[in-house]
Amino acid sequence: MRSDALNGATLLGPSHMGSAASDMGMTITEKILALASGRQRVSAGDVVVAKVDRVMMHDVGAPGVWDVFQELKSRGVDVSRLFNPGMIWMTEDHFVPPPDPKSAENVRLMEQMADMYGIKEYYRFGLGTYGVCHTLAYEEALVLPGQVYVGTDSHTVTSGALGAFATGMGHTDVAYILLNGKNWFRVPETILFRLNGRLRDGVMGKDVILRILGDIGADGANYMAMEFAGDGVRAMPLEDRMTVTNMTVEAGAKNGIMAPDEQVIEYYREKGKSGFPALSSDGDAEYRDVHDYDLGRLEPMVAKPHSPANAAELSEVEGLEVDEAYLGSCTGGKYYDMVQAARILRKANRKAKTRFVVVPSTTNVYRRMLREGLLDVFLDAGAVVGPPTCGACIGGHMGVLGPDEVAVSSTNRNFPGRMGHRTSKVYLASPATVAASALEGRITDPRRILGGGN
């Protein structure tokens, strides 16, 4: 079994897989899927049946899975027991606190599912720790390097920053996995992005992925793995890396991934987690394409309406007036994101000139902001600080835009109507840019406030 094969393994890079494996030339994505399917090697294009280690459901996805179960039940399929309730974790994050009766009904349905199937890892709003699923997965060490992890959310790819094969799936696939513990996957081709150098002050992981999306387009990695490597990755904080992998799905990618380095291993060690395979790609692995980036030359970026791939250097739109600055979501509400935004507010020491909405992504982030005085920084700048939720990012609540309003937002999508009215316009940007823009009431290069010019 796969668990036996991985027992006690701490590193399975090229020099630790044996001479036969070393000659295979596999990528990290291929290695994970090979282990999960009990194969010595797999190649891009292979179809495998792989064991799934972890499954995430939230208050938008779980009701859809429940509906599939009811349909299967009507056909005579036994859905009274799950393959392994211990592989599942759930959180309420999208429409919480519930803004309407339907949202409250979905939360109630999740409670019933947890009780019926004995799902113990359940993070509920108003009862302690909860928050945006992709940040919570990291904070609570719910997903480990080398694992196959699926979720009822397209941005499940976020956890690839920690060395897992992480991907979002539809309700039917997730329902099948819950009942059988496995699913089929076509092994994706891999595009390698070599990130070298170090980001300058005021430039963040969001700028990196927006630059890449602008270069390869919204369909530039359809059903492919986007792998990131290089000393530029190693220089990034883990939470900034997560922003990069999070938005790989905006290029159509099956997964985004980074080989776990010592920073990742140490993080899990602090969480009491060890014995996982810290896989890395072989030196002779085959890639569909390779792209090189010098992070030291990267400028702050924005994604103009209405696509994350409609990227441009911030200088092209600098000065554009905005009605709202939104700081939150899985690409803007993490602790590191809040720290970078607060730096700018402290430096300027004045109030925002436009509506400023700040939403920490989890209660853990919220508590830390409170302990370290960051809440006061945002409140002193005039911001409204809300409870953890995905609400505004999906146009549900807590910052929804009205007709023709313009927002600069740290979220990950800016499709028509994504954050509210279909005539509203969303410019995606880094948390640093959002904070600077809130202060000026117009899209602003954060380096102007930090003192680095542009």
Could you list the residues known to form a binding site, using ranges: 330, 390, 393
Q: Angle, nearest 10°, between helix axes 238-246 and 335-348?
A: 110
DSSP codes of every residue in 346-409: HHH-S--SSEEEEE-SBHHHHHHHHHTTHHHHHHHTT-EE--S-STGGGTSSSS-B-TT-EEEE
The H or E element spanning position 342 is: helix 335-348
* DSSP β-bridge partners for residue 121: 89
- Annotated binding-site positions for [4Fe-4S] cluster: 330, 390, 393
Let me know: does 334 contact 132? Beta carbons within 8 Å.
Answer: no
Query: Residue 221 and residue 252: Cα distance in Å, rounded?
Result: 5
Query: Residue 340 and residue 94: Cα distance in Å, rounded?
Result: 24
Going by their DSSP bridges, the two strands 182-186 and 165-168 should be labelled as: unpaired
The residue written with tokens 């009215």 in the block is 421
Question: Tokens representing 362?
Answer: 């989890």
Question: Tokens representing 397?
Answer: 């609540």
* DSSP β-bridge partners for residue 370: none
The residue written with tokens 């630059």 in the block is 211
Question: Tokens representing 394?
Answer: 């999906």
